[in-house]
Amino acid sequence: MTALAHVLEPWHRSARATAGLYGHFIRLAFLKYLAYRLRYYTGVISYTIFVSGYYYLYTALFESRVPGPDGVATMGGLTVQEMVTYIAVGWIGRSFYFNNIARELMHQIQEGQIAMQLVKPFDVQAVMTFEAAGESAFRLLMFTLPISVVIVPLFGINLPEDPALLGWTVVSFILSLMVYSQINFLTGCLAFYMKNISGVLRAKMVSADFLNGLLIPFSFFPEWFQTAVGFLPFQAVGYIPVTIYLGKRPGNELWIALGIQAAWAVGLYLAGRVVWKRSVRTVIVQGG
């Protein structure tokens, strides 16, 4: 025993150890999802069906469209090829950034398992963020790559004219992951205040896919709607990377778009910190 048996000594985790610890969470999440890889094989099928559905829907719509003066039919400023690329890239991206940490947080709060996290000397929000990153690393390998191999040749998806845009799209999707996991963390925190947030989570998922621009491009909607959506974080998840891929953000607009995503990621992370601190201080952890 120490000389001062009645005193607990302060401690400090070095930056190096912190990086090691949170890196370990990425690794563990990867291992965890590896145990459930079967789920993702079925995901490849369902995503392919989604994209096929939209493919036939939009090609049918474009066929009935009168071509413009240049002989090309467009809808909302997109040609049929761009439209199909829009949908395919959107879903391929979603296979990467999607995660369920809101649901996971809800279960932990409802069942009181969150107590086991709170008695450990780490930052729960950071842990969940890095677990989400681990999940996405797994998804990239087991979901995004296989689905790209199926979808890209199947629908004849072209690479961007400027190959650098492919790189920027990847960067943008990584930012999407950060924004999306923080949206999910914040939504999951609602479980501190409500008994069951399954309904909220469903509503969030559906409206997120819509407000992401994943189902219908924003350019189909009236001006005021596009302006309103611009104020929401969802367009920073799905819409921005796809428009980067399509080359719709020339010059400085690319930097602005990436900046908007980064700002949402940081802003939502900070908001999550505040909400989390408050919730843990004021709310009762159930059971136990």
Partner 1 sequence: MSEPLIRVRDLTRDYRLMDKREGVMGGFVDLLRPRWRTLRAVEDVCFDIDPGEMVGYIGANGAGKSTTIKMLTGILTPTGGQVTVGGMVPWKQRRQYTRHIGAVFGQRTQLWWDLAVVESFRLLQKIYEVDDATYTRQMEIFDDLLGVNEFLHQPVRKLSLGQRMRCDLAAALLHRPRILFLDEPTIGLDVVAKENVRLFLKEIRDRDGVTVILTTHDLGDIEQLCDRVIIIDKGRVHYDGELDDLRQRTGHRVRLTVDLREPTTVAALEAAVSGLPVTWDQEEGLRHVAEFRRQDVAGAEVIKRLVNACPVSDLRLAEPDIEEIVREIYRDAKNGATAVSTNDGAAS
Q: Which residues bind partner 1 (CB under 8 A)?
A: 1, 5-11, 13, 17, 20-21, 24-25, 28, 31-32, 35-36, 111-113, 115-116, 118-123, 281-282, 284-285, 287-288
Q: How far is the CB of 114 from partner 1 (least distance, A)?
A: 9
Q: How far is the CB of 208 from partner 1 (least distance, A)?
A: 26
Nearer to partner 1, 31 or 171 (CB): 31
Q: How far is the CB of 94 from partner 1 (least distance, A)?
A: 24
41: tokens are 């094989």
Nearer to partner 1, 8 or 164 (CB): 8
Q: How far is the CB of 133 from partner 1 (least distance, A)?
A: 16
Nearer to partner 1, 75 or 280 (CB): 280
Q: How far is the CB of 285 from partner 1 (least distance, A)?
A: 6
Nearer to partner 1, 126 or 141 (CB): 126
Nearer to partner 1, 11 or 231 (CB): 11
